Amino acid sequence: MKYWTMLLALAVFTQAHAGDDARRVLDCMRANVPSAAQVEDIQLSSSDSTGTTRALSGKIYAQRKGTHGSGELQVALRIESPTPYAGAAYLIREPGAGRQSSMFVYLPSVGRVRRITGAFVDGSLMGTNFSYQDFRQLATAFAGSTATLEPPSTIEQRPVYVLSFRPAAGSHSSFDRVRAWVDQKTCVPLKASFYAGNALLKALTASADALRQSGKYWYLSEMTMSDLRSGSQTVLRVAHVGEGVGIDKHYFEPGSFYQAN
């Protein structure tokens, strides 16, 4: 009996230790999400299996509320071109542990703000291969997901952590598991695989050569999201990242985020 008790205690300790290791990686990833406001110039270039292409350009505004930037993470995406999509906007408000995030979208063709709930979270973000949920997960370093740490690996001869994420209860995601390969030096994911059961449906890939640093924060200047079912893909390029102070609060208000200039 003592032998089995020792084995059980060892198993519990090992699971707890693995959980602590996963939390350390997550903490490192989330520490890489700027607490100060920042602005990013981005381009989303999509192509399908027929070779048809389309490009969108815009900006991302992000900041944390609260003392010393420790509170709610807020991220706004605004599309500036081409003309049919100019003025479209997307807002994420991530309140922190134990609370549900809020997502909102504004499309000029609809002319009103819509809260993103239910199955709509897996809808295409402005016609790209990124869904609203994909963008939220990347912008918030998988906040709200449950993570477990797998054995480490390498990408382009760089050591990476391998994390397996399960979506939060009630998230309505079409994926029940996401595996992410996180660069150990920068805590930036270089690869992610999105699964429904055992089926790999989407894949995010980036080269370590695309890693850039702005102040103390690291980011990817280019990444590709591929839909393995349709054969389409979207390349997200970040042309410029700059930290700013005092971005107008209207960028992050559900009633005005699409109007701020």
Q: Give the per-residue pLDDT at 103.
A: 93
In which band, very low, low, confident or very high, does the pLDDT at 30 lie, cut at 50, 70 and 90? confident
Q: What is the mean pLDDT of residues 112-132?
A: 90
Q: pLDDT-based confidence at 2, cuts 50/70/90?
A: very low
- Number of C-beta neighbours around residue 99 at 10 A: 11
Mean pLDDT of 104-112: 92
194-200: long-range pairs with CB below 8 Å, 24+: 194/134, 200/228
Alpha carbons within 13 A on the beta-carbon side of 42: 21
The whole-number pLDDT of residue 237 equals 96
Question: Which of 163, 166, 103 has the alpha carbon at shortest distance from 131?
Answer: 103
- 13-27, 39-53, 87-101, 213-227: segment of lowest average pLDDT: 13-27
Is residue 163 within 8 A of residue 184, CB to CB? The reply is no
Q: Which residue has the higher pLDDT, 87 or 97?
A: 87
Q: Please give the pLDDT value at position 171.
A: 64
* pLDDT at position 246 over 80: no
The confidence score (pLDDT) of residue 43 equals 95
| Helix/strand/coil (H/E/C) assignment for every residue in the chain | CHHHHHHHHHHHHHHHHHHHHHHHHHHHHHHCCCCCEEEEEEEEEEECCCCCEEEEEEEEEEEECCHHHCCCEEEEEEEEECHHHCCCEEEEEECCCCCCCEEEEEECCCCEEEECCHHHHHCECCCCCCEHHHHHHHHCCCCCCEEEEEEEEEECCEEEEEEEEECCCCCCCCCCEEEEEEECCCCCEEEEEEEECCEEEEEEECCHHHEEEECCEEEECEEEEEECCCCEEEEEEEEEEEEECCCCHHHHCCCCCCCCC
Report which of residues 259 and 152 the model is more confident about.
152
Beta carbons within 8 Å of 233's beta carbon, 6+ residues apart: 46, 47, 129, 224, 225, 226, 227
Distance between first and last Cα of the chain: 70
Mean pLDDT of 26-48: 85
**What pLDDT band is residue 138 in, cutting at 50, 70 and 90?**
confident
Q: Is residue 136's pLDDT more than 50?
A: yes
Is the pLDDT confidence value at 34 over 60?
Answer: yes
Per cent of the chain over pLDDT 90 is: 51
* Residue 60 pLDDT greater than 60, yes or no: yes
Overall average pLDDT of the 148-167 stretch:
94
